[in-house]
Amino acid sequence: MDMISASCRDFVSVLASSAPAPGGGGAAALVGAIGTALGNMVGALTVGKKKYAAAEEELRALMAKCGALQSELLDQVAADEAGFLPLAAAYGIAKDDPTREARLEAASVAACQVPLHIMELCCEALDAVAVFAEKGSKLAISDAGCAAVTLKAALQAASLNVFINTKGLKDRANADALDQKCLSMLESYGALADRVFTQVKDSFFA
């Protein structure tokens, strides 16, 4: 089944089943796309309004960027499945097979790549959402806050799909390098998402 063309009900139904994919990575990609779209919505509700004319050019450029990010994040649902299935197959290799360890190592590293990329895309989207929150229509500021927390959830979810695979790697130097990439994004962009959320929340009590 093409999960991105499926209905939301179908996607959730398969996600809840014993099917190997979609799993956490695919869910993170979809959630990231939703968060990015929420940011884009703020832009769409802002451009064309005289009150925000000074930010028009910048917001239109961000909307185009977020449109591309949305599409790429959706593409990662299928990409994550393609990256995970070889790992699932590698776990099924007989333990006395002399090629098992090397094949499992390679498949584990490969399975990290898509969730790592999902994280990178979410970081790019969060940069844009911070601007939407700052310069977008105040009537849509809640959507900017929703975008930030949704993207943070996608970022965190994707990271766990890296960590579960790096934990078993024999090449600890490579594992540590992958882990540090994730931890760095979690720290800096998790903080950015929190700042946007707090900014939006506090604006309602000012």
Residue-range domains of the chain with CATH: 23-203 (1.20.120.680)
- Global pTM? 0.95
pLDDT digits (tens, 9 = 90+) for 109-131: 999 999 999 999 999 999 999 99
Those residues with Cβ within 8 angstroms of residue 114's Cβ, 6 or more apart along the chain or in another chain: 25, 29, 76, 79, 80, 82, 83
Q: Calculate what percentage of the chain has a pLDDT beyond 90.
A: 93
Whether 38 and 143 have beta carbons less than 8 Å apart is answered as yes
In this predicted structure, the answer to whether residue 1 has a pLDDT above a threshold of 80 is: no
User: How much is the mean pLDDT over the chain?
Assistant: 96
List the one residue out of 27, 45, 51, 30 whose CA is nearest residue 142.
45
Give the relative orientation of helices 141-166 and 24-44 as an angle to the nearest 10 degrees: 160
